[in-house]
Amino acid sequence: MESETIGKYKNCTKIATGGMGAVYLATHPELKRKVVIKKLILKSGGAAIRERFKREARILSELSSPYVVRMFDYFTEGRANYIVLEFVDGMSLDKLIEKQVSLPPELALLIFLDACLGLKNAHSKDIVHRDIKPGNILISKRAEVKLADFGIASDEKDEFEEPKKTVDSDKTVVSTKNSSITQAGSTLGTPAYMSPEQLMDSSSVDVRADIYSMGVMLYEMVTGSKPYAGDMAPETIAKIKKGKYIPPQKIVKNLPPVVKTLIRKMMKPEPEKRYKSLEPVIAKVRRYLKNYDTHAIRVSLAQSIISTKTIKFPLYIPKNYKAKRIALGACAVCAVALLFCEAWNSGMIHRTVLRNWFTPVSLSMLMPSTASVNADLPARAFFFVNDNDGIPEVPNTRRVFSVAKNSSKGKNLEYITKDVFLRPGEYRIKIAEGPYVWWKSIYVGKEKVIMNLDFLKNASRNITVHFSAMDCETGKDLTQSSLFRIQVGSKWVDASKVDFSKLKTGNVYKFLMIHEGYYDEYFSLLIDWYQDELFITGNMRKK
């Protein structure tokens, strides 16, 4: 497919087209990264559609969350309007559900939590999305979850809407009695996910309508089906108004109570009976997920996004599952059981009683000295049986690297794991640290295996910095009128003139935010070796 030039953007390849425009994949000239360009072109009239397009750009410019698709640019060229957006290389949630049919509750809640955090950012700015659905949740190949498509979102600045209709339950409805979405009688959203009040009149809905739609989306993720048909038939609307749907626990056995509770309350037909905000929803999900290895869950999510086929998700076992089982069965022999567990976990049993059957495997790895013991992305080791078939993971062998004593190795630190005890045979080892994954096939015999790894030695990445500034009292966005500077050597340099390809992780950088009439904001930050994207927001105080 031939590429073209749009404004300052080169290599623009059309990836989708419609009656009023097209979508392109292009390269940002300064950031040197792929972006998505949405083009709107109207032959004549269509002022309301153009205004809605501009409003989407304005709303996106006000949002600053890693869980929302970012907007990089908005411009006009000839009769066409353009929005330049972050490119999310992966798939939408509806495609993932279509491929997998349904998702494990823990995985569904992880996606749900990230979507809630993105939506919370919009709600904090009095923006109601009004079209929450799996098709508007994008998931990258690195398992990053992003909320997208604010085309029919509302805020206090809403003015226009262009009438159109659809009957597809997965397509957005924009059906109005007149040209203003702020007037009564309008219906906007996607039928299968709309709350009762949104079906009747979208002009006056608040954040509780989005909360309802999130409940519907959670229902679909865990069951693989929608609670209601999206045909807007009278009998369907009557069921939605009464809240009559098949409870998810009747479709999925052993559904966690937290999922049932969230769906039941979020999908209450009466808005006043739902959660008033996403705060308690987020708190409940976090409380549940803290019992699980969310890193492992996110890894399996990334695998499912990358794979072109349906995958079998692992069984996510709570961190304290085994401890509870032991506690319940060890009442009579508590002291003996505790001693045995300690001996087993420390490897004493394997080194003594089982020494003829198991061989210890020791791992050490050099990483940049800026890595923290309590890093956001701790390095982990996974062991698999190399059977040239299913490559199953060896139970109870996952390890987290920790700093070794006297570990300083110049610019690096030595990290080690507790010994893993394996029967002699063929194995594969996977080391995962942030965006880096390393595999190795090994043979374990009778002698102890000691592996010294240095593939992350002196590792560093280029840094991307995003600046924003706001009035600490009013919350007014001051970004466009502020100056942002970075200390390069002994000089302060305007951020727009800095060659970011020369800024590397693993160093301390100093940043300055300046705005006339406000006190300067100063930041001095140690950027860990893997933290390649930095967001800095200055809360500016008036002089």
Q: Which residues pair with 147 in a beta bridge?
A: 68, 137
Residue closest to 78 by CA, chosen among 29, 40, 46, 23? 40
To the query of whether residue 168 is one of the catalytic residues in this protein, the response is no
- Please, are residues 192 and 170 in contact by the beta-carbon 8 Å criterion? yes
Please answer whether residues 485 and 514 qualify as being in contact, where contact means their C-beta atoms are separated by less than 8 angstroms. Answer: yes
CA distance 218 to 284: 14
Q: DSSP letter at 68?
A: B
Any residues with CB less than 8 A from the CB of 194 and at least 6 apart, and which? 173, 187, 209, 212, 213, 240
Strand-pair partners of 512: 485, 522
H helix or E strand, kind and range, residue 350:
helix 348-351
**Number of residues in the chain:** 543
Q: Catalytic: which of 131, 149, 158, 419? A: 131
Q: Are 442 and 451 in contact (CB under 8 A)?
A: yes
Q: Are 252 and 222 in contact (CB under 8 A)?
A: yes
Element (H, E) at 287: helix 279-289
296: Cβ–Cβ under 8 A, 6 or more apart, which residues?
A: 314, 316, 398
Strand ranges, E, within 489-532: 491-494, 508-514, 521-526
Q: How far is CA 366 from CA 62, 158, 362, 414, 432, in A?
A: 42, 55, 14, 5, 14
The Cα-based distances of 184 to 179, 180, 197, 210, 272 in angstroms read 11, 9, 11, 19, 20
User: With 0-12 CB in 10 A as exposed, 13-18 as middle and 19+ as buried, what is 110?
Assistant: buried
**Catalytically annotated residues:** 131
